[in-house]
Chains A and B, each alone.
Chain A
């Protein structure tokens, strides 16, 4: 298969289009502007739907509307915009509506800046909006994975009737890399028995999260939790690199995992037994595999562009059986290989 040089954000658009995306709704914000810009031409040329909405709230509400009719819909934004989208994400989780939300993270809190950042981890994996819910969070670390994540997200979302988030960052979105368009054009979609498409030949349906009758919400929440358990059992994805004999295992996702991998290579050259465990899904989190590596002679180091978010989940998985260190910064530069090596050397 021939490769094409594209930006991560464009690769993501192509993955979604190939997966049969019918409508995109967005609002400009850096560093994800390539996405609405690309779709504004491409979707119209394809006879599909593109709207630049009046806000992120409206954009994600349009997604909700398109998705209750069973069509594939998505929105994208960056950190401040994702905060606004939490309302509808919570509704979609409660209403069990599948859709794709993309967060090409920037620096926060507040308006922050447009530097590559990974400080929306908590918001993405711990729920984000109100209520007891989870969404599937995929963390690509290359243009190729942006393409594949966007394609696969819709199947996952529909399989479990849940919103799915792609949590990327400015560099993964902006970086040009050769990619292979290795997914087939999705043309046939499974019939869904829950969608709203007019009640011709059947009883009318409604899709809702408001459950006021005695005990109904309690039961619904148990059902959601059972679904989340099933997702946790089946959909965890991660990459292992030189972990078999590792005495220090770096955990990192997205752009940090690329730097961490180089650091592992460098460390190995210097005789340090380092390895990388990269979560490809942040929720469900690869707790089991992390746990399996946790023993007194193995140390963990979580490398993030934050002041320590994913590291909390690493600690939970390790549960005191290994020491867990953290290296990170937020709102400016990247963590460098040298900084990682230095940190490792001070700990091994």
Chain B
């Protein structure tokens, strides 16, 4: 019998601590598969965030460093500039990347650091119990927006890809989702393209993955998937936001 599906080598044989139905597990797998397929596992140095993915080093089967909350883009900068031959990516949540770490994100992008960011947008702070995130939708109820996010009080959801697209330093920015198989396939393609962008030395790439957080959204996994499809991606349209990979030689 031929084995046609197995765990990627880039994932350890560990039990993930994510809640049932959480999107993080799928996104880990996609990143791991891409790293395997691109053959860069042994030269990868990844940066874990502070957020639900804080234990990423227990799941990924390559070198991973911890980072203070929001600082992964700066840490990845330090790693990559001193080791340009290594493959460097960060894995970050919306709070990590677009609230406390916004300055680090914008400036790493603006310097066109040759790194990749996998940005998991789940519209709230998963790890701390479901508070408002910079990406929380208008009207969305969270632990700290009990009346629903009101732009007059809490401002508007930040569309990071669009924001970064105005910077000349960014090369590839794409928003994808993982709520059904077609989108998972697209998400994997985008992650691989972003990784390849770095391997080819073409500068800053970021893939925003619209994910689900059933536990903190107070939904069943199925309902959370439905909410992504019917509500979440209406505010965060999927697709390529910027791609100048082919114009860089």
Across the interface, do A198 and B86 meet the contact criterion of CB distance under 8 Å?
yes
Bound-state CA distance A49–B64 (Å) is 22
| Residue in A22, A64, A209, A210 whose beta carbon sits within 8 Å of that of B75 in the complex | A64
Min CB gap A52→B, angstroms: 10
Min CB gap A194→B, angstroms: 11
Bound-state CA distance A87–B101 (Å) is 13
Is residue B240 within 8 Å, beta carbon to beta carbon, of the partner chain?
Answer: no
Across the interface, do A87 and B78 meet the contact criterion of CB distance under 8 Å?
no
Contact of A204 with B64 at beta-carbon distance under 8 Å, contacts A54-B104, A199-B42 already known: yes
Could you mark each residue 82-118 of chain B with 1 if its beta carbon is under 8 Å from any beta carbon of chain A, else 0? 1100110000000000000001101100010000000
Interfacial chain B residues near A88, Cβ < 8 Å: 68, 71
Chain A binding site: helix, strand, loop or mixed by DSSP? mixed
Closest residue of chain A to B41 (Cβ to Cβ) is A199
> How many positions in chain A have a CB within 8 Å of any CB in the partner chain?
39
Bound-state CA distance A210–B107 (Å) is 27
Interfacial chain A residues near B80, Cβ < 8 Å: 65
Is residue A338 within 8 Å, beta carbon to beta carbon, of the partner chain?
Answer: no
Bound-state CA distance A22–B191 (Å) is 31
Across the interface, do B68 and A51 meet the contact criterion of CB distance under 8 Å?
no
Is residue B66 within 8 Å, beta carbon to beta carbon, of the partner chain?
Answer: yes
Contact of A198 with B71 at beta-carbon distance under 8 Å, contacts A54-B104, A95-B66 already known: no
Is residue A196 within 8 Å, beta carbon to beta carbon, of the partner chain?
Answer: yes
Closest residue of chain B to A88 (Cβ to Cβ) is B68
Min CB gap A315→B, angstroms: 35
Across the interface, do A204 and B104 meet the contact criterion of CB distance under 8 Å?
no
Contact of A23 with B82 at beta-carbon distance under 8 Å, contacts A57-B71, A58-B103, A199-B42 already known: yes
Min CB gap A47→B, angstroms: 11
Interfacial chain A residues near B65, Cβ < 8 Å: 64-65, 68, 95, 196, 206-208
Contact of A198 with B42 at beta-carbon distance under 8 Å, contacts A51-B81, A65-B76, A66-B81 already known: yes
Min CB gap B84→A, angstroms: 10
Closest residue of chain B to A23 (Cβ to Cβ) is B82
Interfacial chain B residues near A67, Cβ < 8 Å: 78
Across the interface, do B86 and A197 meet the contact criterion of CB distance under 8 Å?
yes
Bound-state CA distance A200–B83 (Å) is 15
Give the interface segment out of B19-27, B53-61, B193-201, B223-231.
B53-61
Closest residue of chain B to A209 (Cβ to Cβ) is B66
Could you mark each residue 55-66 of chain A with 1 if its beta carbon is under 8 Å from any beta carbon of chain B, else 0? 101110111111
Enumerate the 9 nearest inter-chain pairs by beta-carbon distance, A residue then B residue, closest first. A65-B78, A206-B57, A62-B78, A61-B74, A65-B75, A66-B78, A208-B66, A200-B42, A54-B107
Can you identify 16 A-B contacts, CB atoms within 8 angstroms? A49-B82, A57-B103, A58-B103, A58-B104, A62-B77, A63-B78, A64-B65, A64-B71, A65-B80, A71-B83, A91-B67, A197-B45, A197-B86, A205-B63, A207-B66, A210-B55
